[in-house]
Every structure is written in C-alpha cells, then in structure tokens.
Copies of this chain bind each other. A is one copy, B any other.
Amino acid sequence: MDVVADDPGADARTSRAAPSSSADDVELAVSSVILALLPHPETGLATPWLPLVRRIRQPQEGMWALPGGPLRPDEDLGTSARRTLERTTGLTPRYLEQLYAFGGLDRSPGARVVSIVYWALVRPDEAALAVDGENVEWFVAAELPELAFDHAEIVDYALQRLRAKLGYSQIAHAFLPDEFTLAQLREVYEAVLARQVDPANFRRQMLASDVLEPTGRRVEGTSHRPPSLYRYSGDAAQGRRNLLTPREKSV
C-alpha cells in the first residue's frame, strides 16, 4: 500500500496542491442543539425544548434550522458554539459539549457542508433568563416542524445520546440546581426518557448508588414534611461538563 501517495501524515496541509483538496470543496459549519427541560404547553409535564432559527435565505428559505454558522477562521470550535448560544438565547452555557460531526455527502443541496455539532444543556432557571434572538423560536423537541437539511436527524441523535448518558453519567445534573430533591431529579429522568418512573424504585436506586449525598437541608417554605435536598457527590461538576473534553477544547 502506497501510503505516500495520499501523504496521510500531511493531515490536509498539502490539500491546496492535492486533487483531493477539501479546502475548496467542503465548507465547515458549527451548529448547536440547545436543550432545556420545560413544561409541555398541554400536559404541563417537563419535556425537552430547543430553540430553532428560521432561515431567511436560500436554500430552504423559511424553514426552521439549528442555530449555527460557518466556522470563523479566528475562533476554535467551542468558541463558535458559545457565540451561537449567546446569539440565539443570550445565555452563557454551563454545559456545552461537542456532540458529533455530520458530514454525509447528501445532507444538503449545493455546496458540501460538514457540520460539527455541539449541544448545550440549559437549566430551567437559565432558560427563564433566555432572550430569543431574531427569527428564533423555542419548540417542544418531540413536536418539531419540518427542519432544514438533516437537522431533524441531528436533533434525534442528541436526544438519543441524552437518554443514553442518563444511564452512565451524571448528566442529569446539567438540568438541576446544585441542591435538588429526589422529585426534581426524577422529573429530569421522566422528561428525558419521556415516560413515568416509579418514585419508590427511583428513590431506592438513587440512594443505593453512591452518586448522591444528602445536604442535611430541606426545602424551605413548604408545609409539613418538607423534602430533603441532595447534591451530587464527588465531582459534581461532572454533569455540567464532559470531563473527557480535550483540554484546549474545554468550554
């Protein structure tokens, strides 16, 4: 095998000269899936919502799309995602993580675009402070309008990843205040899994695991038997950030 031919060590640095140049043919975008758990307008139950931006140009003008845009030469990937989040919601992300790079050949008409997608998880108290950017509207993730390009698939993937990470990480913490009740924690699980969770079993499992620790405090201002407050033990930050985010990429 002639590895030299493609100069695999060149890592694209010879692409200007090479016929397989990507620079002129593939555009690079950074888009974001911004998720918050908010009450469903009819049921009132917490459910994932996300902001979309209405396209004001062709192709697919007028359709709803994920916020994002071309990667600027002067910003790294996380910076681009943070800028999108700020521009779309006015928020500074607590939890922002690279989700996946989508680069299918058929994902858009016209120019080939590879989109590196980030996802931000927003707490209700943060979402309450969100200011919609122009052409921005929040939607229930399970009831989205038709989206531009392959963005519906990207949203599905983000929700799938969220459900999976609930099982092996403290990602639920990204949707909770530092101290929370077991009912609040269960509500996060029910919203993400889109199904009811048995309170007794949930309580047993959570307390059996060593990820929660009681703060010794209880919810104030409630009537008799106020619920106890818990926090995530160990690195409580884990739910807020992906600890496996490479150093220079950490956000």
Contacts and interface: CB of A to CB of B under 8 A. Distances in A.
Interface string A116-139: 100000000000000101111000
A10 B30 CA distance: 11
Q: What class of interface size applies to chain A in its complex with B?
A: 35 or more
A23 B24 CA distance: 6
From A56, A69, A74, A87, residue with most partner B Cβ within 10 Å: A69
A203 interface: no
Contacts of A108: 11, 13
Interface stretch (A97-105, A211-219, A226-234): A97-105
A88 interface: yes
Contact of A12 (B2, B6, B70, B136): B70
Interface in A1-39: 1-4, 6-16, 18, 20-29, 31
A69 B8 contact: yes
B133 A3 contact: yes
Contacts of A168: 167-169
A153 interface: yes
A170 B206 CA distance: 23
Contacts of A31: 8, 11
Nearest to A62: B9
Nearest to A113: B12
A139 to B, nearest CB: 14
A74 B20 CA distance: 9
Nearest to A168: B168
B249 A70 contact: no
Given A69-B20, A133-B1, A8 B111 contact: no
Interface stretch (A41-49, A156-164, A174-182, A187-195): A156-164
A57 B86 CA distance: 41
Contact of A68 (B11, B56, B246): B11
A248 interface: yes
Interface string A37-75: 000000000000000011111010001111111111111
Contacts of A114: 28, 71, 77, 116
Please list the 4 inter-chain residue pairs (A to B) with the smallest Cβ-Cβ separation, ordered nearest first.
A12-B29, A168-B168, A3-B133, A9-B55
7 contacts: A8-B84, A9-B56, A13-B59, A13-B108, A22-B27, A28-B28, A160-B244
